[in-house]
Structure 1
Amino acid sequence: MSKIQASSALKRFRVLDLSRVRAGPTCVRMLADFGADVIRIEPPVGVDPNANMFADVRLGGDFQNLNRNKRSLTLNLKKPEAREVLYQLVQDADVVVENWRPDVKARLGVDYESLKKINPRIILASISGFGQDGPYAKRPGFDQIVQGMGGMMSITGLPGQGPVRAGIAVADSSAGLYTALGILTALLEREESGEGQWVHTSLLHAQIAMLDFQAARYLNEGDEPVQAGNDHPTSCPMGLFYGSDGPFNIGVSGDGQWRKFCEALDKSEWITDSRFETVQSRRQHRSELNSLIQDVFSQRSVEYWVALLNTAGIPTGPVYTVPQMFEDPQIQHLKVSKAVEDEEVGIKHFITQPVNLSRTTADVVTLAPKWGEHTNEILTELNYSKTQIAHLKEIGAV
């Protein structure tokens, strides 16, 4: 089998993926979809009891979606012979990605200083729960733990409900995306300096960065974010309402949109109502205003209001279930999913990359690899003979 190439954009780069769970594979998936030669390095079957953590079914949608477009090589890095294979790969690689606890990489000789001696151009990308140093550096970190510590659960949910986790792995996914951005930045910088560097982030820092305006409000104005439910914390009216047949969201921001909104609802008297004249006064009287708006919305269908308000320039949209979402004509037009067929496995569906390039866009061309599927192929590329490969397997190195 030749190297997998989903796009020509990053075809000149080789990435060694030592990562597990979600944040690391999310990062590497982006590089793979844009054409990097990605080798997923994982321990042989039975070596790591947590090897399939969360994505526990290799043919399941989660694992497949995270690890498509990659080749798989098994290496037991506790064995010196396996580390030698890794070091040979590092000689010609561009990026190594790992998300072990900080002390593990040093123990296995996969820390930046060790890799830099082998290849000064190498970029090591590390993702941890809490950072590479500091009082929590050695703690294990999962997405929900970090959602709690990073402030997100305190502002999610209905007022007074108590902390609520987001329905997606925000810390994991954002850490993966920030790491991919860091890797691409380091690759660009290397073109000038000729040197690699260590790129690292943590789930905790990435989660806090995703708080964005909520954190900035507190740091600069002392405005502590709290649970606002389906209402926007600063703009009004912006949130969830109900038509006669279901829920939908509206977003009215600024006085210009407010006037258009009132006119569209044939409620021009609200424009001059002292309670609603400014953004600040509307927020102060949010409960009264929302009640008045809801009385109007309850008279007609969601479809009616979505059409009317969008025509008036007011952002409005239905609230979909996931199955309904995939049936929406705009979402289908955007080609957010792609089916890939495999002779043995059948058809699997993948979420495509949300960023498009006009000439060298990303693609999904293969399913996630079987465990160690490309071990012989990659070792042969490193000039290992059949006898040497058999020996590595015999001693449990691959």
Structure 2
Amino acid sequence: MTTAQARPKPLEGIRIISLEQYGAGPFGSVHLADLGAEVIKIEDPSVGGDVGRYVPPYFEEEDSLFFETFNRNKKSISIDIKTEAGRAVFEDLVRNADAVYSNLRGDVPVKIGITYDQLKHINPAIVCCSLTGFGMTGPRMKEPGYDYVLQGLAGWMELTGEPDGPPTKSGLSLVDFSGGYVAALSLLAGLNAAKRDGIGMDCDVSLYDTAMAMLTYPATWHLNAGYQPRRISHSAHPSLVPFQAFEASDGWFVVGCAKEKFWVRLAEVIGHPEWAQPGSKYATFSLRDQNRDELTAELEAIFRTNTVDHWLGQCYPAQIPCGPINDVEAALKDEHLSARHMLVETDHPRYGTVTQLASPVRVGSELPSYVRAPQRNEHFSEVLTEVAGYDEARIAELKAAGAFGADAR
């Protein structure tokens, strides 16, 4: 191997058998697939496969833009693992795989036999990563876990929104997506240990654990100093002042002073350099926090006197952290997005060209290549012959036994 072009993708050679569905699980594995892992989706033919195929509003038959987002670069096969024949196929795939990956309710992995103890006799090095709502232990183990529920349960919604408004969820499914990242990280750590030791393991990952862990420093403050979080108007930071959304004459923008040097620069920009001088009631982090309401009112009055572009035009050259509050359309048109190769296109038989966001995970200088999400059961023959090692007679036998469901194609 003498050229960068000849170098394999970072995860090329890794095979993952995935019982994944909807958002959290597929979001985690799509980054692995982009990096070259062979992700084989086992889709249940009795329910039409991954429910993500039918998410409105942009879907027709079994094609949806939602499904495209989370399943590019993967393979699909329909197997009914509830049948004896389907279970045999699943185990043959496990025999020749590195990992089994799923996102199901916490009690389901054991029920359907996809934990390490239930598969190690087939493949002692198999890594079984189960992303569940509440984990595979504990009193909530059997509860279904959904992003919206967990944002409330983990305290996120109480922290979000205006002080006089209702608790508010994030506009994105951040628990699901964060859980997917955690599952991918756990799986990779497990694969490294299995390669080193020749022994696999379970990775018991949960959306609940993820959501709670992301409370980070407010949780530490509360546990050790009795801190009681509160919502602050205009999404302000709980301790750094100013660091929040401000309204200009024609819209909103964010400006933040995470270091004292930024406050010195901002004071110059707004025409009050004396506010950053020793002796000022706004001179330090602590003083600005103590006088938050007064300072915020002063800043709000100043920022309303001119446009977003004016203030950003003053703050950017001064290297003060700032930015516009974009709508989705404006965010997707930012020239930095394309400069970072974050927009990718795939060819699709129904949609023609599908444009979507790339994975932010970068390994080396080579950019990933992208293939559309698979049609249901698209890789039936490839997976059964190349991975399971079946011939046509064995496939016909298994099909007759119901391994692939009544609608096997």
What is the percentage of aligned positions where both structures have the same residue?
Answer: 33
1:224-373 alignment, distance < 5 Å: 224-229=228-233, 230-272=235-277, 274-343=280-349, 345-363=351-369, 365-373=370-378
CA apart distance, 1:84: 0.6
Q: Flag the 1:291–1:7 CA change in 2: closer, same or farther, 3 A.
A: farther
Contact 1:7–1:362 under 8 Å retained in 2:
no
Contact 2:52–2:64 under 8 Å retained in 1:
no
Report what 1:134 is aligned to.
138
Contact 2:130–2:203 under 8 Å retained in 1:
yes
1:113-132 alignment, distance < 5 Å: 113-132=117-136
- The answer as to 2:53 corresponding to 1:48 is no
Aligned residues: 390
Contact 2:31–2:361 under 8 Å retained in 1:
no
Contact 1:7–1:360 under 8 Å retained in 2:
no
Report what 1:24 is aligned to.
25
Which consecutive residues of structure 1, in runs of 5 or more, have no partner in the other structure? 1-5
| Counterpart Cα distance in 2 of 1:191 and 1:274 | 60
Deviation by residue 1:150-182 (Cα, 9 ceiling, x = unmatched): 111110111131211111111111111011111
Contact 2:85–2:402 under 8 Å retained in 1:
no
| Among 139, 142, 148, the residue aligned to 1:144 | 148
Residue identity opposite 2:173 in structure 1? A
Contact 1:157–1:227 under 8 Å retained in 2:
yes
CA apart distance, 1:344: 5.0
Report what 2:81 is aligned to.
77
- The answer as to 2:377 corresponding to 1:376 is no
Q: Flag the 1:107–1:143 CA change in 2: closer, same or farther, 3 A.
A: same
CA apart distance, 1:386: 2.5
Residue identity opposite 2:263 in structure 1? W
| Counterpart Cα distance in 1 of 2:158 and 2:203 | 30
SS in 1 for 2:282: coil
- The answer as to 2:131 corresponding to 1:97 is no
SS in 2 for 1:12: coil
Residue identity opposite 2:310 in structure 1? Y
Report what 1:3 is aligned to.
none
Report what 1:385 is aligned to.
391
Quote the RMSD (CA, aligned, Å): 1.9
CA apart distance, 1:328: 1.1
TM-score (norm 2): 0.90
**Quick check: 69-78 or 333-342, which moved more?**
333-342
| Counterpart Cα distance in 1 of 2:12 and 2:176 | 26
Deviation by residue 1:207-246 (Cα, 9 ceiling, x = unmatched): 1112222222212222121222411111000111122221
CA apart distance, 1:376: 2.0
CA apart distance, 1:274: 3.9
Deviation by residue 1:51-101 (Cα, 9 ceiling, x = unmatched): 415852442221111011011011101101111111111111001101222
SS in 1 for 2:362: coil
| Counterpart Cα distance in 2 of 1:288 and 1:358 | 49
CA apart distance, 1:395: 3.6
| Counterpart Cα distance in 2 of 1:329 and 1:188 | 38
Q: Flag the 1:9–1:55 CA change in 2: closer, same or farther, 3 A.
A: farther
